[in-house]
């Protein structure tokens, strides 16, 4: 499945410790789960240019850089970018892989949230057909039109997130709602009961993890956004008042605990 690049053109300039790896077209195709036709096409349009062997049949050769580039291509393709747009992005002088990966993460999260909305719509439709609920005509198509419900503002955050949360909330059944309320109360009561142990205590952090999961029932967010929410807990009067009524020091405590939680996870997968 893999061969060293020593016998191939283009590898004579590096005698580094790391062996330069090269792939034939079928090897890369199998690795990435695409067809060889696709790779030839990507070569043809300059999206993923291949080196050639010069000998043999002028066979295409792919190295590690090509592999990384292909991964980027596939991420963008998964997000329905057009191929020439992808090429323009990747060939931009200012292109930064890490920034791109973070951007892709954001977009994929959005997609996933999108599918969550579709699941809600399916459930509602089922309930409707069984006579257990009434749907407006618009609701039958909630989640389909990307332009309408994910106009970048809804994913920014602030009031829109609250709107979106309310929408999801209303679509749940009373039993569901009751269970979620109970979970929410329990989370905050647990935090309150353990304030004396400090924000960094393991069981406090585990509770913050529960909070994170809880928040994600309404809002598909990552740790970064979660941290932003924690800022709201101290700065937004509405949140602040709620928490202060439980304990005057609760807003700051939760904020600190969440920040700790997010810092610990900053370098880690979600």
Site for its own copies in 140-199 (CB under 8 A): 140-141, 144-148, 171-173, 175-176, 178-180, 182-183, 186
The residue range among 87-95, 107-115, 153-161, 247-255 that interacts with its own copies, by the rule CB under 8 A, is 107-115
- Which of its own copies, DNA, none does residue 59 bind to, with CB < 5 to 8 Å depending on kind? DNA
Nearest distance from C-beta of residue 112 to DNA, angstroms: 22
116 binds, among its own copies, DNA, none (CB under 5 to 8 A by kind): its own copies
The DSSP code sequence of 203-251 is HHHHHHHHHHHHHTTT----HHHHHHHHHHHHH-HHHHHHHHHH-TTHH
- Does position 101 interact with its own copies (CB under 8 A)? The reply is yes
Restricting to residues 82-121, which ones interact with DNA according to CB under 7 A? 82-84
Binding of DNA by 60 (CB under 7 A): yes
Hey, how many other C-beta atoms are within 10 angstroms of the C-beta on 264? Answer: 13
**Is residue 37 involved in binding DNA (CB under 7 A)?**
yes
Cβ of 25: how many Cβ atoms within 10 Å? 19
| Binding site residues, DNA, CB under 7 A | 24-27, 35-38, 40-41, 50, 55-60, 77, 82-84
């Amino acid at each position: 499945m893999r061969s060293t690049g020593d016998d191939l053109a283009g590898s004579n300039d590096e005698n580094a410790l790391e062996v330069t790896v090269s792939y034939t077209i079928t090897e890369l195709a199998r690795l990435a789960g695409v067809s060889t036709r696709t790779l030839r096409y990507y070569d043809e349009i300059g999206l993923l240019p291949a080196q050639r062997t010069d000998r043999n049949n002028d066979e295409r050769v792919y190295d590690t850089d090509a592999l990384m580039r292909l991964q980027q291509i596939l991420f963008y393709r998964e997000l329905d970018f057009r191929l020439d747009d992808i090429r323009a992005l990747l060939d931009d002088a200012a292109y930064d892989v890490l920034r791109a990966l973070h951007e892709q993460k954001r977009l994929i999260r959005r997609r996933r949230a999108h599918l969550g909305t579709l699941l809600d719509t399916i459930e509602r439709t089922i309930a409707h057909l069984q006579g257990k609920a009434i749907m407006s005509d618009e609701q039958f198509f909630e989640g389909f039109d990307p332009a309408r419900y994910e106009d970048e503002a809804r994913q920014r955050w602030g009031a829109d997130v609250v709107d979106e949360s309310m929408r999801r909330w209303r679509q749940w059944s009373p039993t569901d709602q009751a269970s979620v309320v109970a979970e929410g109360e329990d989370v905050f009561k647990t935090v309150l009961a353990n304030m004396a142990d400090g924000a960094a205590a393991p069981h406090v952090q585990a509770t913050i993890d529960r909070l994170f999961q809880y928040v994600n029932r309404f809002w598909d967010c990552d740790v970064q956004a979660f941290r932003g929410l924690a800022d709201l807990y101290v700065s937004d009067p509405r949140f602040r008042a709620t928490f202060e009524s439980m304990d005057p020091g609760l807003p700051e405590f939760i904020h600190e605990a969440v920040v700790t939680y997010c810092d610990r996870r900053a370098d880690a997968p979600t």
